Amino acid sequence: MLYTALQLVALIRIAGEYMSPPWPWYIAAAALWLLALTPWVARSLWMYLTPGRDGAPG
């Protein structure tokens, strides 16, 4: 699902090159990129911020 979302964002970014004011498309692509990567960041932060099975940090 993440791969598909990032491919969609790439297409939006490329489409922005062909629109007359491109920066709204760039902002939309950036916002969707952040939204698409939020689950991955949340999972990574959880792994780094909770103690491991042996009780050691991270």
Global pTM? 0.69
Per-residue pLDDT of the chain (58 residues; tens, 9 = 90+): 888 999 999 999 999 999 989 999 999 999 999 999 999 899 999 888 888 888 777 6
Alpha-carbon distance of 52 to 56, in angstroms, equals: 6
CB within 8 Å of 13: residues ≥ 6 apart:
25, 26, 29
Residue ranges of domains in the chain:
2-46
